[in-house]
Chains A and B, each alone.
Chain A
Amino acid sequence: MRPYFQNMAPIGKPLTEKQKEANKENARQIKEVEKEIEAAIEEVKNAGLPLEVLKKRGQMSVWERIDYLVDPGTWCPLHTLYNPRSNEEGTTGVVDGLAKINGKWAVVIGFDNKVLAGAWIAGQAENQLRVTDIAKRLRVPLVWLVNCSGVKLTEQQEVYPDRRGNGTTFFRHAELEKLGIPILAGIYGTNPAGGGYQAISPTLLIAHKDANMAVGGGGIVSGMSPKGSFDEEGAEQIIEATRHFKQVPPGSVPIHYNETGFFKEVYETETGVLDALKKYMDMMPAYDPAFFRVDEPKEPKYPGEDLNYIVAFNQKRSYNFDEVLARIFDNSEHMEFRPGYGPEVYTGLAKIDGFLLGFIGNRQGFLGKDYPEYAPYPGIGGKLYRQGLIKMNEFVTLCGRDRVPIVWFQDTTGIDVGDLAEKAELLGLGQSLIYSIEQTDVPMMCVVLRKGTAAAHYIMGGPTANNHNAFTLGTPTTEIYVMHGETAAVATFARRLVKEKEAGRPLQPIIDKMNKLAQEYYEKSRPLYCARRGFVDEIVSFPNLRKYIAAFAGCVYQNPKSICPHNHMMIPRIIKG
């Protein structure tokens, strides 16, 4: 199949200085958003104790542990700003991402030991479940840096119970193990109760000399108050008992290395634990990348920095999506699937780091005369019409057949509406695409390049495709909402305006409400909000997008659960005709 995959058709053109000059303000606006994101990330990194306190205790921070563990330049952080319950810590208390360890991809997650000694805090369970889901979808090892003090007792109701509470992670670990996906854990510090299960549920434990893990902590020096409440006398008894409490925390190295053997290895130094994890990563199942590559890896012909001048910050402004792809694909080359059909959608094959991936995305701008073919009005990119929906269904289904992982790019205002659109079966074709995705069973990732709107955000491989979407990235231009705020304000208040008008009452109070709603839509769809709420798994700068897509490609081809031989693939032949 070499003739198909090497020397594909070129895509894109270099940006001229004039074009860059004309879009200088665009690039500046994008950089402004990046600064806002960077400031928020800095706050997360500074959450909890100052780093100097850990240093005095002789501990490394979770960031330092990860930095030591992963191969330089491979760290792709995820969920950095995620804080779905807006907790007071300003973080979920775990740090995670994709990275290579000794040349092999893994999902890495560690407790932030600066934040309440790695306690379970509100929103953390959701973060952990996203991470186990990513390991499951990408079929790469999950590497834990456990340092967990257990439940934040003053907020136990936020973390301990519930269907998707912190305990759910232990079942997810068991599920990964059932699927043959190993979980390696290095453990540090005191890990009682929930922390104990965080430590024991992985496949293999490597301990630091001072680590311990236990069913319950040693800090419970008294039980419930016999009086049913606390008073001064009770408080004095607690003080006395606490002063005399010198017990070593249960489950330390003498127990779990010498007696139970749960700790497979114990190391004197923190870095010793990390070196051991690297050693065990060498034993993890992984194909040599050359086995699946269809060509030598090549950088795109045009710089990723150009994307800041190409993707329009003004959400109403169209741009050339093919020029975006030209700055993502290896050597800026591709094979487009059905280029003349459904012009609002790009579908095609391209290489990332030498691996073959399927790409689907919204083209922008005017779509040509007589399109959509079922309506007298002109079609405009970002909307989805009949042909585009049929084409995506075909391409997704064929990617399933050829076992080609898919990358979705969303910049969509939704599916065409109205009776003509209904007659053209768009409602059914949208759900058909969901069906096609669910039946296809290949790993997918999504980039919300700009707008993720209405049902199109669901059907185009968005985060709601739980079983297939490994993760979703946002960008500095991302906006996610059911509809534009102004549209929502009209939909909500139009009849009320008529009523007030007919009653002869002033319209200003309703107009104020409309403006307030539109503003709320804007504020709650911005990149920072999307990242904090988890609408996306990370906000990534445009030049960094290719790095994340390359990480996705490396992960999915590391140990795939099923394979289509290159010489049995149909998409390249269908494209060639």
Chain B
Amino acid sequence: MAVGEVTAPMGGKVIDIKVKPGDTVNEGDEVVIIEAMKMELPIVANESGTVKEVKCNVGDAVEADAVLLVLE
């Protein structure tokens, strides 16, 4: 995982994106929700920053390690 990238820890379906480009996020904030194994897993920002790019859409099936969004 490159600096600034928020990735999917496991494969699943994106069911909610809680940020958009330009939003400020703090470390620990929920940014994306993925559904996997019948559970909803909040993906959190592992650092503070501004959302540069959202690289997924609601409904996308993503693989493990897929980049979901980029922070700067």
B21 within 8 A of A: no
In the bound complex, residues from chain B placing their C-beta under 8 Å from that of A314 are 40
Chain A: minimal CB distance from B49 (Å)? 14
How many whole Å from A458's CB to the nearest CB in chain B?
Answer: 22
In the complex, what residues of A have CB within 8 A of residue B10's CB?
366, 378
Bound complex: CA A365 to CA B35 (Å):
11
Provide the residues of chain B in CB contact with A508, threshold 8 Å: none
Q: Is the CB of B37 within 8 A of A378?
A: yes
| B28 x A318 contact (CB < 8 A) | no
B61 within 8 A of A: no
Alpha-carbon distance between A350 and B9 when the two chains are bound, in angstroms: 30
Q: Is the beta-carbon distance between B39 and A382 smaller than 8 angstroms?
A: yes
> B39-51 interface mask toward A, CB cutoff 8 Å, 1 = contact, 0 = none?
1111000000000
CA A369 to CA B11, docked complex, whole Å: 11
Interface size on A, residues (CB 8 A): 18
- List, in ascending order, chain A residues with CB within 8 A of B38's CB: 316
- Is B36 touching A380 in the complex (CB atoms < 8 A)? yes
A439 at the interface (CB under 8 A from B): no
Tell me if A16 and B26 are in contact (CB < 8 A).
Answer: yes
B9, chain A: closest CB distance, angstroms: 4
- Contact present for B9 and A366 (CB under 8 Å): yes
- CB within 8 Å of B: which of A6-25? 13, 16, 18-19, 22
A380→B37 contact, CB < 8 A: yes
Question: Does B30 touch A at the CB level, under 8 Å?
Answer: yes
Which of B29, B39, B40 has most chain A Cβ within 10 Å?
B39
How many contacts between A and B, using CB within 8 angstroms? 46
How far is B38's CA from A377's CA once the two chains are assembled, in angstroms?
Answer: 13
Name the B residues within 8 Å of A319 (CB-CB): 42
Q: Is A317 interfacial (CB-CB < 8 Å)?
A: yes
Give the residue name and chain of the A residue nearest to B34 (CB). Answer: A366
**C-alpha gap A16/B29 in the complex (Å):** 9
For B42, list chain A residues within 8 Å (CB): 317-319, 365
Q: When chains A and B are docked, how far (Å) is the Cα of A493 from the Cα of B22?
A: 49
Chain B residues contacting A378 (CB-CB under 8 Å) are 10-11, 36-37, 64
A350-389 CB contacts (< 8 Å) to partner B: 365-366, 368-369, 377-378, 380, 382
Task: Kindly state the separation between the CA atoms of A552 and B35 in the bound complex, as whole angstroms.
Answer: 38
A380 close to B39 (CB less than 8 A): yes
Interfacial chain B residues near A316, Cβ < 8 Å: 35, 38-40
Q: Are B30 and A22 in contact (CB under 8 A)?
A: yes
Chain A hits for B26, CB < 8 A? 16, 18
A13-B37 in contact (CB<8A): no
* A311-338 near B? 1/0 per residue, CB < 8 Å: 0001011110000000000000000000
B40 contact set on A, CB distance < 8 A = 314, 316-318
**Cβ-defined contact, B41 with A16, below 8 A:** no
| The residue from B9, B29, B39, B41 contacting A18, defined by CB atoms under 8 A apart | B29
B-side contacts of A22, CB under 8 Å: 18, 29-30
Query: Which of A13, A16, A369, A382 has a CB less than 8 Å from the CB of B64?
Result: A369
User: Taking the nearest CB of chain B, how far is it from the CB of A318, in angstroms?
Assistant: 5
Q: Is the CB of A365 within 8 A of B41?
A: yes
Given contacts A369-B64, A378-B10, A380-B36, contact A19 B41 (CB under 8 A): no
Known contacts A16-B28, A18-B26, A19-B28: does B37 contact A318 (CB below 8 Å)?
Answer: no
Taking a contact as CB atoms under 8 Å apart, the answer to whether A318 and B30 are in contact is no
Kindly provide the distance from the CB of B27 to the nearest chain A CB, expressed in whole angstroms.
10
How would residues 1 to 22 of chain B score, 1 for a CB under 8 Å from any chain A CB and 0 otherwise? 0000000011100000010000
Question: Is there an interface contact between B39 and A318, defined as CB atoms closer than 8 Å?
Answer: yes
| B41 engages A318 (CB within 8 Å) | yes
Report A-chain residues with C-beta under 8 Å of the C-beta of B36.
366, 378, 380
B72 to chain A, nearest CB (A): 19
Question: Considering only CB atoms, which chain B residue lies closest to A312 in the complex?
Answer: B40
Where the two chains meet, the residues of A that have a C-beta atom closer than 8 Å to any C-beta of B are 13, 16, 18-19, 22, 314, 316-319, 365-366, 368-369, 377-378, 380, 382
Sampled A-B contacts (22; CB under 8 Å): A13-B28, A16-B26, A16-B29, A18-B29, A317-B40, A317-B42, A318-B40, A318-B41, A318-B42, A319-B42, A365-B39, A365-B42, A366-B10, A366-B41, A369-B64, A377-B37, A378-B36, A378-B37, A380-B36, A380-B37, A380-B39, A382-B39
* Residues in B lying within 8 Å of A, measured CB to CB: 9-11, 18, 26, 28-30, 33, 35-42, 64
4 more A-B residue pairs beyond the given contacts A317-B33, A318-B39, A382-B39, with a C-beta to C-beta distance below 8 A: A18-B26, A18-B29, A19-B29, A369-B64
For the complex of A and B, list the 5 residue pairs with the smallest distance between their C-beta atoms, beginning with the closest.
Answer: A366-B9, A380-B37, A378-B10, A317-B40, A316-B40
